[in-house]
Amino acid sequence: MSQPIVSIKSVSKRFGSFVAVDDVDLEIAEGEFFAMLGPSGCGKTTLLRMIAGFETPTEGQVMIGGVDMSHTPPNRRPVNMVFQSYAVFPHMSVEKNVAYGLKMDRVPAAEIGPRVKEALALVQLSQFAERKPDQLSGGQRQRVALARALVKKPRVLLLDEPLSALDAKLRDAMRLELVKLQKSIGVSFIMVTHDQDEALAVADRIAVLHQGRLRQVAKPEALYQRPADAFVADFIGKANFFPALKVTRAGAGARVETKELPPLDFPAAPDGNLTLAVRPEKIGLGPEAEGEVRIEAKLGDVAFQGDSSLVELLLPSGRALLAATHGKSAAWVGAQKEGATIPLGWRVEDMLALKAD
């Protein structure tokens, strides 16, 4: 990475004895769309507020553009924040809402008009400049909030769950708009979300947080294919887990015994407690059951999804696995009766040996 636009160096934040952010190191690149993802309460907003300057780290340092921000107040930082509840002023027109921040900063009046115009054009609200917020849709109000932040020309835009107030369909459309906007203006975006689909859809890279700690930072594809541990594998996408009962180490590798699978050898395995995982689409069914891992299960519910099906498979232990099939195999499953015995198969190399919590 050339000089990162934001560096978070060993940052912790405690509220009393409660650790909200725990020794986090992160670097965000110039022009990057970066997402911070994790369950509610994991410290995402607190981390974002420390970048913005609304919270002070208990330990560590936030650098922006190579400059230590420890003594820089929020309004002097080259960042701007779009809040979770994007409060637009109801009594002001769209145009006045967007101009407000520039007025407060005493930007010369001659400069304000053109900058507001430009910001409204960016978020496609030019024709709504005179409207009041209550004459706008939810998506349009959200774009006013974006324009209000962008008009100040931040080097980094901080977004705290910016789409959470929108309904599902609008949210999907706004995701694409956000990505287009970010790529067209080249400003770094740091977006906080608890929604994995949202993070996967928009971000160049994602940081996964859990209880204040960073679990993994990677591109979406790598998070899915090579999760750092069982928490990440569970949080990103769907996975079937088999907790290890006995682990026999051999060099870097391990033989792993579980309740429901034959003993399996892995050429590499992390230290500590292990759990094995396999993604639903790696499980072959019926005529397509191949690979070293062979078991049988009874057919449960099948959720037809057009070009594919999600299949529930009941193991003799009583636990259910989830498989995703398409094409020939989906057609084959569709012809089976509920409760039928189904042969399953997958390859050891399609399994993950992960550190369990």
Ligand X SMILES: Nc1ncnc2c1ncn2[C@@H]1O[C@H](COP(=O)(O)OP(=O)(O)O)[C@@H](O)[C@H]1O
Burial per residue of 199-228, b for 16 or more beta-carbon CB atoms within 10 angstroms, e otherwise: bbbbbbbbbbbbebbbbbbbebeebbeebb
Choose between 21 and 289: whose C-beta lies nearer to ligand X.
21
DSSP assignment letter at 287: G
Choose between 15 and 89: whose C-beta lies nearer to ligand X.
15
Question: Residue 165 has which token pair?
Answer: 């107030």
Burial per residue of 123-157, b for 16 or more beta-carbon CB atoms within 10 angstroms, e otherwise: bebeebeeebbeebeebbbbbbbbbbbbbbebbbb
Binds ligand X by CB under 6 A, chosen from 5, 11, 20, 217: 20
15 binds, among ligand X, Mg ion, none (CB under 5 to 8 A by kind): ligand X
Determine if 45 is a binding residue for Mg ion (CB under 5 A).
yes
User: Site for ligand X (CB under 6 A): how many residues?
Assistant: 11
Give the span between the Cα atoms of 70 and 68, in whole angstroms.
6
Binding track over 2-41 against Mg ion, x by CB under 5 A: ----------------------------------------
Choose between 50 and 321: whose C-beta lies nearer to ligand X.
50
Determine if 193 is a binding residue for Mg ion (CB under 5 A).
no
DSSP assignment letter at 242: E
Rg of the chain, C-alpha, whole Å: 25
Choose between 46 and 325: whose C-beta lies nearer to ligand X.
46
Determine if 24 is a binding residue for ligand X (CB under 6 A).
no
Q: Are 280 and 240 contacting, i.e. CB atoms less than 8 angstroms apart?
A: yes
Choose between 20 and 199: whose C-beta lies nearer to ligand X.
20
188 binds, among ligand X, Mg ion, none (CB under 5 to 8 A by kind): none
Q: Are 163 and 171 contacting, i.e. CB atoms less than 8 angstroms apart?
A: yes
157 binds, among ligand X, Mg ion, none (CB under 5 to 8 A by kind): none
Choose between 38 and 284: whose C-beta lies nearer to ligand X.
38
- CA distances, 314 to each of 8, 300, 311, 340, 353 (Å): 46, 6, 10, 10, 22
41 binds, among ligand X, Mg ion, none (CB under 5 to 8 A by kind): ligand X
Q: Are 25 and 9 contacting, i.e. CB atoms less than 8 angstroms apart?
A: yes
Nearest-CA neighbor of 69 among 135, 13, 5? Answer: 5
40 binds, among Mg ion, ligand X, none (CB under 5 to 8 A by kind): ligand X
42 binds, among Mg ion, ligand X, none (CB under 5 to 8 A by kind): ligand X
Which 158-177 positions form the footprint of Mg ion (CB under 5 A)?
none
Q: What minimum distance in Å lies between the beta carbon of 40 and ligand X?
A: 4
Give the span between the Cα atoms of 22 and 6, in whole angstroms.
18
Choose between 82 and 289: whose C-beta lies nearer to ligand X.
82
Which 214-243 positions form the footprint of ligand X (CB under 6 A)?
none
355 binds, among Mg ion, ligand X, none (CB under 5 to 8 A by kind): none
Give the span between the Cα atoms of 238 and 233, in whole angstroms.
8
Q: Are 75 and 131 contacting, i.e. CB atoms less than 8 angstroms apart?
A: no
Choose between 45 and 80: whose C-beta lies nearer to Mg ion.
45
Q: Which stretch binds ligand X (CB under 6 A): 38-46, 195-203, 279-287, 335-343?
A: 38-46
Q: What minimum distance in Å lies between the beta carbon of 211 and ligand X?
A: 9
Choose between 45 and 196: whose C-beta lies nearer to ligand X.
45
Determine if 41 is a binding residue for ligand X (CB under 6 A).
yes
Question: Residue 7 has which token pair?
Answer: 């560096």
Give the span between the Cα atoms of 137 and 190, in whole angstroms.
25
Binds ligand X by CB under 6 A, chosen from 10, 15, 339, 349: 15
Determine if 56 is a binding residue for ligand X (CB under 6 A).
no
For 182-222, the DSSP string reads HHHH--EEEEEES-HHHHHHH-SEEEEEETTEEEEEE-HHH
Residue numbers at the binding site for ligand X (CB under 6 A): 15, 18, 20, 38, 40-46
Residue numbers at the binding site for Mg ion (CB under 5 A): 45
